[in-house]
Chains A and B, each alone.
Chain A
Amino acid sequence: MSELILYLNIIRRNPIYLAGLVIVSLFVVVGLIAPYILTRPGDAWGLTYDINKRLSPPSLEHLFGTDEYGRDLFNRVLLGTRFSLVIGVGVVALSLAIGIPVGLIAGYVGGKAGTALMRVTDMFLAFPPLLLAIALAATFGRGLSNTILALSLSWWPWYSRLIYLQVSSVRNLPYVDAAKVIGISEARIMFRHVLPNSLTPVITQATLDIGSAILEASALSFLGIGVPPPTPEWGLLVSSGWRLISVAWWVSFFPGLAIVITVLGFNLLGDAVKELMDPRLRNLLSMRRV
Chain B
Amino acid sequence: GLPGRPTTTTPTTTPTQRMIIYASLSEMTTADPSTEFSNSVMWLPLVYEPLLWYDPITDKFIPALATNYSSSIDGLVWTFTIRRDAVFHDGTPVTSHAVKLSIERTIALGQGAAFIWDPVESIETPDNYTVVFRLKYPAALDKIAATAYGAYIFSPKVVDYAGASNLTDPKVAEWFNRGNEAGSGPYKMIKWDPENEVVLEKFTDWWGWKLPDYPMKSDNAPDIFKIKIIKDAVTQETLLLSGGVDIAQYVPLENIEQHQRNPNLQVVFKPSFQNLIMLINVKKPPLDNVLVRRAIAHAIPFEDIVTVARSGLARVASGPVPHGMWGHFDNLTFKYNLSLARELLTQAGYPSGINRKLILTYTAGDIYEARTADLIKASLSQIGIEIEIRPLSWEEQWALAQKGWEDPNAAQDLLIFYWWPDVVSPFTYLYNMFHNASKVFNLCYYENPEFNALIEEAVTLEGIDEARALQLYYMAQKILYEDVPAVPLWDMIDLRVARAGIGNLDKAINPAYPTVVFAQVLDVRG
Contacts and interface: CB of A to CB of B under 8 A. Distances in A.
A and B touch in the complex (CB under 8 A): yes
A224 B237 contact: no
A244 B254 contact: yes
B396 interface: yes
Given A228-B389, A228-B390, A247-B255, A49 B304 contact: yes
A246 B371 contact: no
Interface residues of B, number: 28
B392 A46 contact: no
A142 interface: yes
Interface string B221-237: 00000000000011001
B268 interface: no
Contacts of B374: 46, 69, 229-230
Contacts of B370: 229, 240
A223 to B, nearest CB: 10
B308 interface: yes
Interface in B372-419: 373-375, 377-378, 381, 389-392, 396
B389 A230 contact: yes
Nearest to A248: B254
A68 B254 contact: yes
A243 B307 contact: no
Interface string B503-523: 000000000000000000000
A46 B380 CA distance: 12
B377 A46 contact: yes
B389 A51 contact: no
A243 B378 contact: no
A247 B258 contact: yes
Interface in B276-324: 304, 307-308
Contacts of A47: 377-378, 381
Interface residues of A, number: 25
A69 B364 contact: no
Contacts of A55: 254
A48 interface: yes
Contact of A68 (B241, B371, B391, B396): B371
B307 A141 contact: no
Contacts of A240: 367, 370
A242 interface: yes
Contact of B364 (A49, A224, A246): A224
A49 B371 CA distance: 12
A80 B233 CA distance: 26
A68 B377 contact: no
Q: Which of A46, A228, A245 has the most CB of B within 10 A?
A: A228
A54 interface: yes
Interface string B426-465: 0000000000000000000000000000000000000000
Interface of A is mostly: loop
Interface string A128-139: 000000000000
B234 A49 contact: no
B374 to A, nearest CB: 5
Nearest to A42: B378
Contacts of B1: none
Interface string A59-73: 000000000110000
A240 B365 CA distance: 11
B353 interface: no
A143 B392 CA distance: 11
B308 A69 contact: yes
B394 to A, nearest CB: 13
B112 interface: no
A229 B391 contact: yes
A48 B375 CA distance: 8
Contact of B308 (A42, A68, A142): A68
Contacts of A141: 390, 392, 396
Given A69-B374, A141-B392, A248-B254, A243 B308 contact: no
A228 B374 CA distance: 10
B93 interface: no
Interface in B233-258: 233-234, 237-238, 241, 252, 254-255, 258
Contact of A51 (B254, B255, B308, B367): B308
B307 to A, nearest CB: 5
B377 A243 contact: no
Nearest to B392: A141
Interface string B342-380: 000000000000000000000011010011011101100
A258 to B, nearest CB: 21
Contacts of A142: 364, 390-392
Contacts of A242: 234
A43 B254 CA distance: 20
B396 A243 contact: no
B443 to A, nearest CB: 18
Interface string A101-123: 00000000000000000000000
B392 A246 contact: no
A55 B253 CA distance: 13
Interface string A216-249: 0000000010001110000000001011111110
Nearest to B367: A243
A243 B252 contact: yes
Given A228-B391, A243-B233, A244-B252, 8 more contacts: A47-B378, A142-B390, A142-B392, A224-B364, A230-B378, A240-B367, A243-B252, A247-B255
8 contacts: A51-B308, A55-B254, A68-B308, A141-B392, A240-B367, A244-B252, A246-B238, A246-B255
Closest 10 CB pairs of A and B: A243-B252, A243-B234, A47-B381, A230-B374, A247-B255, A51-B304, A47-B378, A228-B391, A247-B258, A51-B307
Interface of A: 42, 46-49, 51, 54-55, 68-69, 141-143, 224, 228-230, 240, 242-248
Interface of B: 233-234, 237-238, 241, 252, 254-255, 258, 304, 307-308, 364-365, 367, 370-371, 373-375, 377-378, 381, 389-392, 396
